[in-house]
Amino acid sequence: MDPPLRHTVGFVAPFAVFVSIMAVEKYLPLPSSWLYPTRFFTVLAVLLVCSRPYLKLLPLRPLLSAGIGVAVFAIWIGPDVLFGPGYRDSWLFHNAITGAAAATVPPELKTNLWFIVIRAVSCTFLVPIIEELFWRGWLMRWIIDKDFTRVPLGTYAPGAFWIVALLFASEHGPYWEVGLAAGIIYNWLMVRTRSLADCILAHAVTNGLLSIYVLQTGNWQYWL
């Protein structure tokens, strides 16, 4: 495989497979209890096969990154806590483009330990890795130079910074405004530390706390 293409596959493939499976899984002839584990193990396999050379998981600023993760979690749930559940009924967050902030987990899975464990592990560990590889490991550099390997991690360019933040926001549908805040903060952390591991750690802390919050409060809509 051509070296630039091999590098691109390593950074992009796990996220692309994850999104593709999400798009088609409702058409798969599998029971609900197996859809998410199928996605999880498929993406994990792609990650291990394609991305291991690019995974350096030792953060340079672990305390800063963990603190950023806590802050983003607070930002994520803050509007709903402050303004109540009706906040996301506004047309800004409930429309044909963003969708609605509604729970997608079938009722029977809310007490399924197998599903909950896989979902929490995926949200806390797998998703931060594949998203940070794609958004801040690849796209933020690819926008600057199509041969992204020539661009050091954390290189700041205004266009790349804000395009990635906006696209990251759009990925989160009815939570786009807190997704935008999270994208800006994670981008800043990448520029500050130039470390993919620090962004993964921050993202993992955010998602881990969000998983705990979902399970403790029953706000399943946060598990999109």
Residue 170: strand pairing partners? none
Distance of alpha carbon 152 from the chain centroid: 22
Residue 99: strand pairing partners? 95
- Give per-residue pLDDT as tens, 35-67: 888 999 999 999 999 999 999 889 999 999 999
| Six-digit token string for 118 | 């896989």
- Return d(Cα 120, Cα 222) in angstroms, integer: 12
Residue in this structure with the two tokens 């995926």, named with its chain if needed:
122
State the pLDDT at residue 85: 79
pLDDT band at residue 73, thresholds of 50, 70 and 90? very high
State the pLDDT at residue 12: 98
- Return d(Cα 35, Cα 55) in angstroms, integer: 27
Checking if the pLDDT of 2 tops 70, the result is no
- Return d(Cα 176, Cα 183) in angstroms, integer: 10
- For the residues 99-105, what does the mean pLDDT come to? 88
Checking if the pLDDT of 175 tops 90, the result is yes
Cβ neighbours around 187 below 10 Å, total:
22
Mean pLDDT across the chain:
94
51-83 burial by CB neighbour count: b if 16+ within 10 A, else e? beeeeeeebebeebbbebbebbbebbbeebeee
- Return d(Cα 179, Cα 177) in angstroms, integer: 5
Q: Flag the least confident range among 44-48, 98-102, 202-206.
A: 98-102
User: Phi and psi dihedrals of 66, rounded to 5?
Assistant: -65, -40
Checking if the pLDDT of 1 tops 90, the result is no
User: Phi and psi dihedrals of 46, rounded to 5?
Assistant: -60, -40
Q: Where are the domains of the chain?
A: 57-222
- Return d(Cα 154, Cα 24) in angstroms, integer: 34
- Return d(Cα 7, Cα 173) in angstroms, integer: 29
- For the residues 86-112, what does the mean pLDDT come to? 90
92-119 burial by CB neighbour count: b if 16+ within 10 A, else e? ebeeeebeebeeebeeebeeeeebbebb
Share of the chain above pLDDT 90, in %: 83
Checking if the pLDDT of 174 tops 90, the result is yes
Three-state SS for 99? strand
- Return d(Cα 72, Cα 70) in angstroms, integer: 6
